């Protein structure tokens, strides 16, 4: 059951993670619309982008190396997954900085 290559948990958990990011994207989109034009709205926009890049990273994780799409072991989707996570972290840090600066302004 816990063998990574054969367990049904492996693809199931990857799908749940991608679905979770879609829910996060939806909620942050609603926050961006609600707080449009405010400092908090800018922070929520950064969080929205964070969610989008997290979703893209989870898709790259789901498809593994991407061999069926013409990728190979040298140019793998795993590289894109790593880049998406780095971009996601950058937006997360940006959102934190925006929230901190908006709280100091008040």
Instruction: Let me know if residue 4 belongs to a domain.
Output: no
Q: Answer yes or no: is 97 within a domain.
A: yes
pLDDT digits (tens, 9 = 90+) for 16-74: 999 999 999 999 999 999 999 998 999 999 999 999 999 999 999 988 888 887 888 78
Residue 21 lies in a domain: yes
In a domain, 28, yes or no: yes
Structure tokens given for 99: 């929230």
Task: Output the pLDDT for position 71.
Answer: 81
Q: Domain for residue 2, yes or no?
A: no
pLDDT tens column, 2-15:
787 788 998 899 99
Task: Answer yes or no: is 40 within a domain.
Answer: yes
Q: What is the DSSP string of 64-105?
A: TT-GGGT--SSS-HHHHHHHHHHHHHHHHHHHHHHHHHHHHH
Domain that holds residue 57: 9-105
- Whole-prediction pTM: 0.88
**How many folded domains does the chain comprise?**
1
User: What is the residue whose two structure tokens read 């942050």?
Assistant: 28
| 70 within domain boundaries | yes
Phi-psi region of 18 (alpha: psi -120 to 50; beta: other; left: phi over 0): alpha
């Amino acid at each position: 059951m816990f063998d990574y290559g054969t367990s049904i948990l492996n693809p199931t958990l990857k799908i749940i993670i991608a679905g979770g990011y879609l829910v996060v994207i939806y909620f942050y989109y609603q926050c961006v619309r609600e707080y449009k034009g405010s400092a908090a709205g800018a922070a929520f926009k950064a969080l929205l982008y964070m969610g989008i890049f997290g979703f893209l990273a989870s898709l790259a994780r789901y498809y593994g190396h991407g061999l069926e799409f013409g990728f190979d072991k040298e140019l793998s989707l795993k590289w894109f997954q790593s880049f998406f996570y780095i971009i996601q972290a950058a937006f997360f840090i940006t959102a934190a900085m925006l929230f901190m600066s908006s709280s100091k302004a008040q």
